[in-house]
Amino acid sequence: MAYSFPEEVLEYVLSFIKSDKDRNAVSLVCKSWYEIERWCRKRVFIGNCYAVSPMIMIRRFPEIRSVEIKGKPHFADFNLVPEGWGGYFYPWVIAMSKAYPMLEAIRLKRMVVSDECLEMIAKSFKNFRVLVLSSCEGFSTDGLASIAANCRNLRELDLRESEVEDLSGHWLSHFPDTCTSLVSLNIACLGSEVCFSSLERLVSRCPNLRKLQLNRTVPLEKLPNLLCRAPQLVELGTGAYSAELRPESLSNLVNAFTGCKKLKALSGFWDVVPLYLPAIYPVCCGLTSLNLSYANIQSPDIIKLVSQCQNLQRLWVLDYIEDSGLDVLASCCKNLEELRVFPSDPYELEPNVPLTEQGLVSVSEGCPKLHSVLFFCRRMSNAALVTIARNSPNLIRFRLCILEARAPDYLTNEPLDAGFGAIVENCRKLRRLSLSGFLTDRVFEYIGKHAKKLEMLSIAFAGDGDMGLHHVLSGCDSLRKLEIRDSPFGDQALLANAAKLETMRSLWMSSCSVSYGACKLLGQKLRRLNIEVIDERGTPESRPESCPIEKIYIYRTLSGPRFDTPNFIWTMDEEGNSPLGIA
Amino acid sequence: MSPPLLSVEGLGQGNVSLMASQVTVDSLSPASLEFKERNYLGLSDCSSVDSSPASNLCKENKSNLNLKATELRLGLPGSQSPERGPELNLLATGKLNEKNLFPLAPSKDGICSSSQKNVVSGNKRVFSDTMDGFSEIKGPSYTEGNWMFNTSRTDSESAQPVGLGKFSGSGNINVMLSSGSAVTHAALVKEVPQKALEAGHHLKTANASKVNGSNNNTSAPAAKAQVVGWPPIRSFRKNTLATSSKNNEEVDGKPGPGALFVKVSMDGAPYLRKVDLRIYSTYQELSTALEKMFSCFTIGQCGSQSTCGKEMLSESKLRDLLHGSEYVVTYEDKDGDWMLVGDVPWEMFIDSCKRLKIMKGSDAIGLAPRAMEKSKNRN
């Protein structure tokens, strides 16, 4: 069979197959297809940097041009993962610098990237084009300067929400005059001022620039200049959206925006002076994405904007939009697919704005294409959730955060089990779910029973006991990532479903009731998982085995225990001992 | 082939089942507690390979199983609730079992770059070594900083995970401090079961303040509830919100919302902490919190001097140590300069502080004059 199809033909066919899943399927057909496929795979996605070592990746795929790697667990975003946990990019860049000289793209999420790494990238990969650092940390603007100075063909530099040590804005001036290849530049997370004239010149000489996200220090007065030099922009992130009131300021802005005929996405909007908002009205009808989540503007202004964006597909906004604004959204934006509403005052438990569950219900009623929701609110009811579930059966992502932990249905004082149960029962395509509010084991029964497509579940302050966790682990067939905090789940559910853990990418549990003894047992039984106990109180060996550990992170891996764990993490080993060797 | 996993059926014989699909829901009986119990104990591998820890666990589980699984526990690690096994019931007697509380000292350098640190035995010292000499106690002998200073507020559910933090982290300090702190622990013990009761019986009301006020036995009722990582908002967003709302001041004079997290590092400490400056309103509060957070290092540092050897280190001595020539707190401001904390008015400090660092007094000598100059120039 192998010789009925010449390799070259198969390779050619495979070049049309881009998706990882399909590629993986191809490689399972037979040995020769495995070989052919691995030699021509160009992109690899590694969801957990410790699941596989650089050597394994390089050995299997010798011709990679693009890597995407994720590091820390998701809960690191909320300070639940202690500093020093890991996720270092360094070993990867060292290995790849030798193995993949033609590497073009690196996309990282929640990894620790040092300036040294950036320098290695800059000097090792001659054809380097794309660097996306999402929620990364560990580097400074000096590292960025290396990238700017040395990557001749750089197309994308995207620093999305990374924590950068901002030494100065001077790094931007390191882009040589010969650099004309930029397509996307996102420096929104940087704090210091970049040299504006360098920025202007850079923008002018890059005719393919499609995406430009400025940082807060770029003043509004300078925006028209930039926009005039880049009328082909498709995505723009403004800097601070405020300026001294001058008559020509507004008209300059209006003209500049009018010139941007291709603009589809807007973001930024720090420190907004509402007077200048009408400047973007000319582009509203073409907008598909609008991020006002940093904009301190009130409902009337938001409504004026949103009501003009009939083609809006994605809206990120603060709760200043209020229920009234969400009503308008529901009636004007029939193409809305994704809505995120963030809290303007997250630590205040008393409502500061009239934003309630009603707003979300309205949107679910009015927007038939709604598939992704992230909603922070102060109260919720089962009735509302049931209605939302009925209105939006096509939900893919539903993340609800009721600000007060364990808040019950505000109408009936009952748990919100029935409401979330309705969500999982009606929304058959649901892939991601985040729970909040007062929940018993019953909600997990529903989830285990209905959420068959669920891939990622986030649980906080929920459940009664092990049965809850058991329902999830035994019922959710597609579960890949499970993260739990402050919930009374313990040993029994974990141990009874230990086999499940090998089918998942990772499990995070913090402030639960998992005992050290159970961790040791898991480590002993499940050789292909790393069972990492995170405990800042010192070695778990100094406490009884039944004593619960603070945090545990379990993930499957081909590489065995990692060697870069800090001294507050213990990896359970095969002998069932604490790896410290203390009996 | 790997040994049989903990399959729901089969109990360690016959079915070598690695796939989750073998573990079916159907195989679980409704009286699943019992079932699980059997399942757990039926691990033939477990008992043959390493009998003592596993069977101990089994035993404990047997006795606690029926209780635990049905109880409305709130899953506090190291919970003070008395239902748990006696070995955990340390606080009930009012005595602190130091051996269990006092964490182990980590390796000397505390830098986590070397390999084979935790997988292979070796560098860590046993508790008894450290107890004798108080020498070079470094490393994670304190709990998550956030947890610790949240206890000083103890609002709402922060009592829960934070309870642990204070419980074990100050276990350090309590070994050396007077019995005053035992009282606080007792207070926490009382709080916890009460909370369990509340949640269990659906006593939650929509009244938000109840959550805040109910177990506010310790201090600062004015501070808002601050559970680590809740609500789940990224630091970037939190900090941005904080600064933008400060720009548009609330009319009713409410304090600026949002958090302002800055990193705190200390010379000799293995890793950084993050501190929310908005929680504090004076330098004294910040200083106290930092002391608590990093106190173990200070103790370690003084360990070489014989005075600290075996005597109880009172809180005031601790403070003296920090305020003495040993350590000073410095911060990096917006311009990138390092200044001594305390020179400028608190509001100004919060505005400009990017990062904190606790350094040895000797290292900080050059800072004072500059700080004075700078504030002079500002004024």
Closest CA to A525 of A554, A567, A485, A490: A554
Q: Is A524 on the interface with B (CB under 8 A)?
A: yes
Residue with tokens 């019953």: A442
Q: Is A135 on the interface with B (CB under 8 A)?
A: yes
With an 8 Å Cβ cutoff, are B53 and A461 in contact? Answer: no
Q: Is A247 on the interface with B (CB under 8 A)?
A: no
The residue in chain B having the minimum alpha-carbon distance to the alpha carbon of residue A576 is B50
Query: Radius of gyration over alpha carbons of chain A, in Å?
Result: 25
Burial category of B114 from C-beta neighbours within 10 Å (exposed 0-12, middle 13-18, buried 19 and up): exposed
Q: Is A4 on the interface with B (CB under 8 A)?
A: no
- Enumerate residues 71 to 90 of chain A having a beta carbon within 8 A of any beta carbon in chain B: 75, 77-80, 82-84
- Enumerate residues 444 to 463 of chain A having a beta carbon within 8 A of any beta carbon in chain B: 448, 458, 460-461
Q: Are B210 and B88 in contact (CB under 8 A)?
A: no
d(CA A466, CA B33) in angstroms, rounded, equals 9
With an 8 Å Cβ cutoff, are A567 and B110 in contact? Answer: yes
d(CA B367, CA B348) in angstroms, rounded, equals 18
- CA distances to A392, A501, B165 from B25, rounded to whole Å, are 29, 16, 37
CB atoms within 10 A of CB A296: 21
- Enumerate residues 229 to 268 of chain B having a beta carbon within 8 A of any beta carbon in chain A: 229-238, 240-241, 244-245, 247-248, 257-259, 261, 263
Q: Are A455 and A480 in contact (CB under 8 A)?
A: yes
With an 8 Å Cβ cutoff, are B224 and A405 in contact? Answer: no
**pLDDT of amino acid B202:** 38
**pLDDT of amino acid A313:** 98
d(CA A266, CA A283) in angstroms, rounded, equals 10
Its ipTM equals 0.89
Q: Is A401 on the interface with B (CB under 8 A)?
A: yes
Closest CA to B234 of B265, B263, B264, B258: B258
Give how far the C-alpha of residue A572 lies from the chain's centroid of Cα atoms, to the nearest Å. Answer: 29
Closest CA to A52 of A73, A70, A35: A70
CA distance, residue A464 to nearest chain B CA (Å): 5
Q: Which residues of B touch A405 (CB under 8 A)?
A: 156-157, 211, 227, 230
- Enumerate residues 327 to 346 of chain A having a beta carbon within 8 A of any beta carbon in chain B: 342-346
Residues 6+ apart with CB under 8 A from B344: B352, B371, B375, B378
Q: Are A140 and A115 in contact (CB under 8 A)?
A: yes
Largest CA distance in chain A: 78
Burial category of B291 from C-beta neighbours within 10 Å (exposed 0-12, middle 13-18, buried 19 and up): buried
User: Sheet of B273-276: strands edge to edge?
Assistant: B273-276, B261-266, B355-360, B327-332, B338-340
Helix residue spans in A206-356 (DSSP H): 223-229, 247-259, 281-284, 299-306, 322-332
Amino acid at B41: L
Q: Point out the residue among A401, A496, A582 whose CB comes nearest to the CB of B121.
A: A582
With an 8 Å Cβ cutoff, are A405 and B46 in contact? Answer: no
**pLDDT of amino acid B211:** 35
Q: Are strands A66-70 and A481-485 parallel, antiparallel or unpaired?
A: unpaired
Ramachandran angles phi, psi of A526, nearest 5°? -110, 90
Ramachandran angles phi, psi of A223, nearest 5°? -65, -45
- CA distances to A9, A43, A186 from A12, rounded to whole Å, are 5, 16, 35
Q: For the stretch B60-98, what's the b/e string if a residue is b when 16 or more beta carbons lie within 10 angstroms of its beta carbon?
A: bbeebbeebbebebbbbbbbbbeebeeebbbbeeeebbe
Q: Point out the residue among A405, A460, A496 whose CB comes nearest to the CB of B36.
A: A496
d(CA A456, CA A458) in angstroms, rounded, equals 7
CA distance, residue A82 to nearest chain B CA (Å): 8
**pLDDT of amino acid B273:** 73
Per-residue pLDDT of chain A (583 residues; tens, 9 = 90+): 555 678 889 889 999 998 999 999 999 999 999 999 999 999 999 999 999 999 999 999 999 999 999 999 999 999 999 989 999 999 999 999 999 999 999 999 999 999 999 999 999 999 999 999 999 999 999 999 999 999 999 999 999 999 999 888 899 999 999 999 999 999 999 988 989 999 999 999 999 999 999 999 999 999 999 999 999 999 999 999 988 777 788 889 999 999 999 999 999 999 898 989 999 999 999 999 999 999 999 999 999 999 999 999 999 999 999 999 999 999 999 999 999 999 998 888 788 899 999 999 999 999 999 999 999 999 999 999 999 999 999 999 999 999 999 999 999 999 999 999 999 999 999 999 999 999 999 999 999 999 999 999 999 999 999 999 999 999 999 999 999 999 999 999 999 999 999 999 999 999 999 999 999 999 988 989 999 999 988 889 999 999 999 999 999 999 999 999 999 999 998 765 555 433 3
**pLDDT of amino acid A368:** 97
The residue in chain A having the minimum alpha-carbon distance to the alpha carbon of residue B103 is A538
d(CA A191, CA A413) in angstroms, rounded, equals 45
CA distance, residue A448 to nearest chain B CA (Å): 10
* Cα dihedral A99, A101, A103, A107 sign: positive
Ramachandran angles phi, psi of A462, nearest 5°? -135, 160
With an 8 Å Cβ cutoff, are B88 and A498 in contact? Answer: no
Both structure tokens of B294: 């990093």
- pLDDT digit string, tens, across residues A322-350: 999 999 999 999 999 999 999 998 888 78
**pLDDT of amino acid A277:** 93
Both structure tokens of A281: 């009205």
d(CA B64, CA B84) in angstroms, rounded, equals 8
Residue with tokens 């001077």: A170
CB atoms within 10 A of CB B219: 12
The residue in chain B having the minimum alpha-carbon distance to the alpha carbon of residue A414 is B202
Q: Which residues of B touch A343 (CB under 8 A)?
A: 231, 233
* H or E element in which residue B132 lies: helix B127-133
Give how far the C-alpha of residue B169 lies from the chain's centroid of Cα atoms, to the nearest Å. Answer: 7
- Enumerate residues 530 to 569 of chain A having a beta carbon within 8 A of any beta carbon in chain B: 535-539, 541-550, 561, 563-569
Burial category of A247 from C-beta neighbours within 10 Å (exposed 0-12, middle 13-18, buried 19 and up): exposed
With an 8 Å Cβ cutoff, are A579 and B238 in contact? Answer: no
- Enumerate residues 54 to 113 of chain B having a beta carbon within 8 A of any beta carbon in chain A: 54, 56-57, 60-61, 65, 68-79, 84-85, 87-88, 99-107, 110, 112-113
- Enumerate residues 175 to 204 of chain B having a beta carbon within 8 A of any beta carbon in chain A: 199, 202, 204
Per-residue pLDDT of chain B (379 residues; tens, 9 = 90+): 444 344 434 333 333 333 333 333 344 334 433 333 344 433 433 333 333 443 443 444 444 444 444 444 333 344 444 433 333 333 333 333 333 333 333 333 333 333 333 333 333 444 334 344 333 333 333 333 333 333 333 333 333 333 333 333 333 333 333 333 333 333 333 333 434 333 333 333 333 333 333 333 333 344 445 688 899 999 888 888 777 655 544 333 334 445 677 888 877 665 567 787 877 888 888 888 887 777 654 444 433 343 433 333 444 554 555 555 567 888 888 788 888 888 888 888 888 888 888 887 777 666 654 445 555 555 4
With an 8 Å Cβ cutoff, are A576 and B54 in contact? Answer: yes
**Number of residues that make up chain A:** 583
Q: What own/partner pairs with CB < 8 Å and gap ≥ 24 does A448-454 have?
A: A448/A472, A448/A474, A448/A475, A448/A476, A448/B25, A449/A424, A449/A475, A450/A421, A450/A424, A450/A425, A451/A424, A451/A475, A451/A476, A452/A428, A452/A476, A452/A477, A452/A478, A453/A428, A453/A429, A453/A478, A454/A424, A454/A430, A454/A478, A454/A479
- CA distances to A497, B13, B31, B58, B66 from B27, rounded to whole Å, are 12, 16, 11, 22, 20
Q: Are strands A569-571 and A551-556 parallel, antiparallel or unpaired?
A: unpaired
- CA distances to A150, A180, A221, A229 from A203, rounded to whole Å, are 18, 9, 16, 7
**pLDDT of amino acid A246:** 79
Provide DSSP, A365-377: HH-TT--EEEEEE
Amino acid at B47: S
Q: Is A101 on the interface with B (CB under 8 A)?
A: no
